[in-house]
Amino acid sequence: MALSKVDLANQVENQLPQNLVANNLPFRNIIINGDMSIAQRGTSANTLASSGYYTLDRFKFQAISAGVWTMSQDTNVPTGQGFAKSLKMDCTSTDAVSGNDLLIIRQYIEGQNLQYLKKGTANAQSLTASFWVKSNKTGTYILELYDVDNTRQISKSYTIDSADTWEKKTITIDGDTTGAFDNDNGGSLIVSFWLAAGSDYTSGTLSDTWSSPTTANRAVGQVNLADSTSNYINITGVQLEAGTTASDFEFLPVDVNLQRCQRYYQVLADGSQQTLSMIGLGFYYSAVLMIMAIQYYTEMRATPSLDNVSGTNYYRIFANGTNDYFDDFFLTSTNTTNKVCDLRNESDISGATGDIGFVRTENAASFVAFDAEL
């Protein structure tokens, strides 16, 4: 009997080496922007001491009293591996770390992107994390996976062996048969790189199997990267995939990588890139109300908030031969979804009802973006 195309494809796949099969699976990397190539907010942010998204897309700086830092997109990368950028953390003010002090770089992952892992069932998939890391400070570091939906976590240690040297790390994490991830757009899994941890997180025994969190067990052994202004760390090639072996890093085309990041954050206009940057078309709904209808570049994870910089005459609308300068925008909640929104100004505008014109930035500091981060 002749084999169907599906049966033939399955037979061929079963005869291939497993690493070759894995290396050809599309979108096997759960991490977004693991090659650190996308940085919509900017390539460097200084004097960081509080939590937030500052530079590289999808990687959040999480800190509680653990020094002051510069976070940047760096060109220092492992030689011959195909990477062009890395995430760099530079310590600019030290802290001895104690109590609940912490410093973490983390990524939140939607539950609906994790269903194929079959977590919470007898068939739960193991995971393998791989990444390149470089630091002047050798010693033990912690990688943690935290299940938000079921309040479970697992921590794995790895060692930076040689100072100022790129090293590849591979860590395998057993599947968790307890607690399924929610099938929605909420943050179900947090992948965390610990860089410093106070005694609240280090005084127990490292929880290297899936369990309900015990604070004292989450980061046992973690070195304090915040103890010297000479300290730094670079990370790139972050990959998390199903299975017990690490495949080669999955490089995506830059347009695909950018679009995946824009689900969570997208920049509409950036004056630092081009002072006279076109934003879109606006119209005078009334003499003192200007509205712009915006369709996002891609559907966002959820209804976004507005992230923008305001200042005197930072923006203008040019309509009917007249320049009308204004300072700021705001979103209207009734007309904002995860697909479209309208931007408005009704504090600085003065024009003719019904006039249509183009809106653009007027200052290098002007910035308009939409934020739907987890």
pLDDT of residue 278: 87
> How far is residue 317's CA from residue 168's CA, in Å, rounded to a whole number?
51
Structure tokens at 202: 């280090």
Show the tokens assigned to 238. Answer: 């972050």
pLDDT surpasses 60 at 360: yes
The helix (run of H) or strand (run of E) holding residue 134 is strand 127-135
Cα–Cα distance for residue pair 297/77, rounded to 1 Å: 30
Asked whether the predicted pLDDT for residue 70 surpasses 80, the reply is yes
Q: How far is Cα 59 from Cα 36, in angstroms, rounded to an integer?
A: 9
pLDDT level of residue 9 (50, 70, 90 thresholds): very low
The domain limits of the chain are 20-262, 265-371
**Higher-scoring residue by pLDDT: 247, 333:** 247
Q: What pLDDT score was predicted for residue 296?
A: 98
Q: What is the pLDDT of residue 23?
A: 56
- Predicted pLDDT of residue 24: 64
Q: Compute how many other C-beta atoms are within 10 angstroms of the C-beta atom of residue 333.
A: 9
> Over the stretch 288-320, which tens digit does the pLDDT of each residue have?
999 999 999 999 999 999 999 999 999 999 999
Q: Of all residues in the chain, what percent carry a pLDDT higher than 70?
A: 94
- The predicted pLDDT at position 7 comes to 46
What CATH number should be reported for the domain whose range is 20-262?
Answer: 2.60.120.260
Q: What is the mean pLDDT of residues 149-167?
A: 98
Q: What is the pLDDT of residues 15-30, one digit of tens each?
A: 444 444 455 678 999 9
Q: DSSP assignment, residue 117? A: G
Compute the mean pLDDT over every residue in the chain, rounded to the nearest whole number. Answer: 94
Q: Report percent pLDDT > 90 for the chain.
A: 91
Q: How far is CA 374 from CA 111, 137, 196, 318, 321, in A?
A: 11, 31, 23, 36, 43
Q: How far is CA 306 from CA 6, 266, 279, 303, 367, in A?
A: 47, 10, 14, 10, 10
Rounded-to-integer distance, Cα 176 and Cα 229, Å: 39
Amino acid at 134: K
E-strand stretches of 271-329:
278-286, 289-295, 305-309, 315-319, 322-326
Q: Which residues, in sequence order, are CB contacts of 155 under 8 Å at separation 6+?
A: 142, 143, 144, 145, 206, 207, 208, 217, 218, 219, 220
Residue 119 to residue 116: CA distance in whole angstroms: 8
